[in-house]
Structure 1
Amino acid sequence: MANYPPSAEEIASLIQRYDRIVVTSHINPDGDAIGACGVVSYILKALGKRFIIYNATGIPYHLEWVPLPTKVITKLMDIPFKPELFIILDCGDIWRLGRELSSCLLEYQSINIDHHIGNPNFGTLANWVEPKAAATGQLVAAIAEVIGIPLTGELAQCLYLSIVTDTGSFAYSNTSPGVLHLAAKLIELGLNPSPIREQLDNQWPLAKFHLWGKLMQKIQLEYDGQIAISAVTLKTITDFGATKEDLEGFTEQIRKIKGVRVAALVREDPGESCKVSLRSSGTDNVQAVAIQFGGGGHFNAAGATIHEPIETAVKQILEAIQKITFSTTDVD
């Protein structure tokens, strides 16, 4: 596998050598993943390439409004051409592509563009992994500029979605001068951020409010109020007519409780396994917690799957947070 750190110029040059390209990201994509896929797709469109977006889990309903230049397929067999290249975006490890693609990716030429710490450089052609980037969107924006594609129109909307999502609307600690300059440049070039904010904030289904209300009542404060944790069963989600997508953003909200340093949501999945979402602020490293369970992410935002019943998963994640994130002098 390639393991050198290429520049935006080198990635741009590689992309232009191929004509049939699949753009993809991690499963259960967030705004950075979908936004970056959109930016790259508009680059390929401007270059006259044949391309399609693939994601094994599709687009979550709250991002269906994103103005992508092509449809999103969920099965490799539906790719309408023989792929020459896969461009993989915002994917911290190969398994996060989903079982179908991760099992055969090494058979293809692939470029891996990401900003997650610990990315194992699984791209077969090139790997551009820059943990200092606030969002993968920042990296693909550089590629567009190298090629000479303007950061305007629907490409700009996708790019703004990418950076506003992964910086928490420019509130997270990864918000750098560079990403603020990029956002300002988009606005200078004509982007109106208000409709994007409207789509992100004001499209909640009623079932999501009801589900969140239930989970708010179940919040546990542990370790002198420094950890907030809530857990949700499959039955609870179904009873409220909600979906797992309706849990998006919940962990960030309970982190706002006064005195809380780390927030966790444990969601029951089929087959006695649970998905854990972790959020923190400042110097509390939740990525290290996620890694203990085979997961990953960022310093202040991470996740993992625990293959245990929900009660056991809650206990294990609390113990891991205490052991890894907090020192013995921080808690009783």
Structure 2
Amino acid sequence: MPLTDLVPDGWREPARQVVTALRGLDRIIIAAHVNPDGDALGSMAAAGWLLRALGRECVLYSRSGVPDYLRFLPLPGVMHDTVQHLPFAPQAALLLDCGEPHRLGDELARCLPGLRTVNVDHHLGGGMGSEFSWIQPEAAATAQLMACVALCAGAALRGPLAEAIALGLVTDTGGFAHGNTSAHVLRLAAHLVENGCDIPLLRQRLEHCWSMARMRLWARLMERLDLHCGGRLVSCLVRLEDLRRSGACKEDLEGFVEQMRRLAGVQAAILLREDAPGVYKFSLRSFGSIDVRSAAMQLGGGGHLNAAGGTLHMDATRAMEQVVDSVAAILKEHTQSRNLC
């Protein structure tokens, strides 16, 4: 079958438009949100491998660098953490998995007005691209969209390009366990495996790399879980002091909010992380049709149906109260709607 058959109906035209836009650009800086997760880094790497295949000059940029737990991923070049001393003066930017300029980091955000930009994202609220924007909230991961772009460009999904796409799929679907694991995602994953991508090895590299600091941090936080709404909602507060005492870093929290959902009876989870005094980042997770994105949006954040987040500027007690109240309201609405059915 034609490889473009792996691209869902309705996605082929915007994917082709991204290809056309990229072919009209050169000296491209590829970036995603700061503190990149597997999807952000996988999307960036996939874009870099594709642009190299298209004969375009490009660099990768992340103000916060590559997280230690993702350093196994082959990259198509050096990851730059500053726009100073790049091998060329960027003329364009490919922005991935990031809907707001400030999430790129202040340094790159200041440069955007002078660059032609293309934006590919699966989060609502994107659209930074002046050349072209493809925002597809139905996608499980931005890496899935980059796979569609690569297929429409005639690139074979093999080698490091395939591994980069697989990383984004695996991390943003929770290892193909989240509700966003569609038939299209599984067909794409099967195609990657058929072409030599070792997904079990990828998961081993992601999951069997814990440090003692991470173990200590998780043990510390497990004792602090709070239940709300009759056990349907679980929350946890993470202070900077917890990281210091455990010898851990923010990256060591990756996956903890998903772990909280393992409690029997829990339908939604809240992780509230202190980033600085008076600054708290919240991460929300849920199951099925429970829409934590709407709770996040009420608090100035965003995300997906079952995975969302944002940042609050206030003290810890007030921040936790606001997030718990917002998610509790969503759970109440969900229960009422089911009772009416």
Same fold (TM over 0.5): yes
Q: 1:312 aligns with which of 314, 318, 341?
A: 318
Q: How big is the shift at 1:283?
A: 1.4
**Does residue 81 in structure 1 map to residue 85 in structure 2?**
no
Hey, what does 1:236 align to over in structure 2? 242
Q: 2:36 aligns with which of 29, 42, 46?
A: 29
Q: 2:278 aligns with which of 260, 272, 275?
A: 272
Q: How big is the shift at 1:6?
A: 5.8
- Deviations along 1:113-134, one digit per CA (max 9) or x if unpaired, are 0111232x11111000111111
For residues 319 and 129 of structure 1, the distance between their equivalents in structure 2, rounded to whole angstroms, comes to 30
Query: Could you list the runs of 4 or more consecutive aligned residues of structure 1 that deviate by over 3 angstroms after TM superposition?
Result: none
**TM-score of the superposition, structure 2-length normalised?**
0.92
Q: 1:55 aligns with which of 31, 56, 62?
A: 62
Hey, what does 1:155 align to over in structure 2? 161
Q: 2:296 aligns with which of 290, 297, 303?
A: 290
Contact 1:227–1:262 (Cα < 8 Å) also in 2: yes
**Where does the alignment leave 5 or more consecutive residues of structure 2 unmatched?**
1-11, 337-341
Alignment partner of 1:92: what SS? coil
Hey, what does 2:8 align to over in structure 1? none
Q: How big is the shift at 1:325?
A: 4.2
Contact 1:6–1:126 (Cα < 8 Å) also in 2: no
Give percent identity, aligned residues only: 41
Hey, what does 1:193 align to over in structure 2? 199
Hey, what does 1:114 align to over in structure 2? 121
- Deviations along 1:288-308, one digit per CA (max 9) or x if unpaired, are 111122211111101111101
Hey, what does 1:93 align to over in structure 2? 100
For residues 94 and 180 of structure 1, the distance between their equivalents in structure 2, rounded to whole angstroms, comes to 32
**Where does the alignment leave 5 or more consecutive residues of structure 1 unmatched?**
none
For residues 109 and 290 of structure 2, the distance between their equivalents in structure 1, rounded to whole angstroms, comes to 31
Contact 2:269–2:286 (Cα < 8 Å) also in 1: yes
Hey, what does 2:151 align to over in structure 1? 145
State the AA in 1 paired with 2:287: S
- Deviations along 1:276-327, one digit per CA (max 9) or x if unpaired, are 1111111111111111222111111011111012222111111111234433
Contact 1:295–1:305 (Cα < 8 Å) also in 2: yes
State the AA in 1 paired with 2:286: S
**Does residue 168 in structure 1 map to residue 174 in structure 2?**
yes
Q: Aligned-pair RMSD on alpha carbons?
A: 1.6
For residues 328 and 184 of structure 2, the distance between their equivalents in structure 1, rounded to whole angstroms, comes to 34
Range moving further from structure 2, 20-29 or 290-299: 290-299
State the AA in 1 paired with 2:84: M
For residues 305 and 7 of structure 1, the distance between their equivalents in structure 2, rounded to whole angstroms, comes to 31
For residues 145 and 6 of structure 1, the distance between their equivalents in structure 2, rounded to whole angstroms, comes to 12
**Does residue 209 in structure 1 map to residue 215 in structure 2?**
yes
State the AA in 2 paired with 1:34: L
For residues 135 and 116 of structure 1, the distance between their equivalents in structure 2, rounded to whole angstroms, comes to 9
For residues 13 and 131 of structure 2, the distance between their equivalents in structure 1, rounded to whole angstroms, comes to 10
State the AA in 2 paired with 1:53: L
Q: How big is the shift at 1:54?
A: 0.6
Hey, what does 1:135 align to over in structure 2? 141
For residues 107 and 326 of structure 1, the distance between their equivalents in structure 2, rounded to whole angstroms, comes to 47
For residues 333 and 144 of structure 2, the distance between their equivalents in structure 1, rounded to whole angstroms, comes to 35
Aligned residue pairs: how many? 325
